[in-house]
Chains A and B, each alone.
Chain A
């Protein structure tokens, strides 16, 4: 079955770059519709960060666009998130997700378990 697993540092210092990777198993990352990242600050709602499509096109949340890069590594069957110049406001659980089957426009039908990233010195 399809599984997504996030990995990366759980603690990042302010002004540094947050880097996370999502390993995909049970499915080829070269297929599928798109792969994306969503975050959830503690006790708050979901916020879409961005998505990378099968074509290579990327779409980012306008409020984060200047700081975000999402990329795919087909050789490792994984995709990554980089968020630069982080502040405490970027502290959140970060989820990787994908649309592999039916999920509606912009929807995600497979999710990772999430990883908590804390921004603190």
Chain B
């Protein structure tokens, strides 16, 4: 059981906009920033969004993040086949003094 809650799966067709949610609590998302990671099949995770809505250099602006209260969302616009991957949200938890991850969302591009 993960501390952060994500839907196990999401899907969309090429060109569509897809959003993935991440729900937490006051001790994690409610009081700290959220990071998002993309894990392509068979590879290491890659930082996709940090501090709720910032993109590291090289990440396309098709990817965006937002946060409201104790929830966060990752949006992918202009969906492409290469976006098919697992996506994880993460945040620091002040009660646990630990990094907590969501269970991951498997995105399928139909």
> Using a CB–CB distance below 8 Å, which chain A residues touch chain B?
36, 38, 45-48, 51, 59-62, 95, 101-109, 111-114
Contact = CB atoms under 8 A, between A and B. Distances in A.
Contacts of A103: 35, 47, 50, 56
A108 B91 CA distance: 11
B12 interface: no
A38 B47 CA distance: 14
Contacts of B37: 46
Nearest to B103: A45
B26 interface: no
What DSSP secondary structure best describes chain B's contact surface? strand
19 contacts: A38-B45, A45-B88, A46-B37, A47-B101, A48-B90, A48-B100, A59-B98, A61-B98, A62-B96, A95-B45, A102-B50, A102-B51, A104-B34, A104-B50, A105-B91, A105-B92, A106-B90, A109-B56, A111-B44
A105 B92 CA distance: 6
A111 B99 contact: no
Contact of A107 (B43, B90, B98, B100): B90
Given A45-B101, A46-B88, A104 B2 contact: no
Contacts of A60: 98
A109 B47 contact: yes
B31 to A, nearest CB: 10
Interface residues of B, number: 30
B101 A107 contact: no
Given A45-B101, A48-B101, A107 B50 contact: yes
Contacts of B35: 103-104, 106-107
Nearest to A96: B44
Interface in B15-61: 32-35, 37, 39, 43-47, 50-52, 54, 56
Given A59-B97, A106-B91, A45 B2 contact: yes
Contacts of B2: 45
Give the one of A45, A51, A113 with max B CB within 10 A: A45
A38 B39 CA distance: 13
Contacts of B97: 59, 62
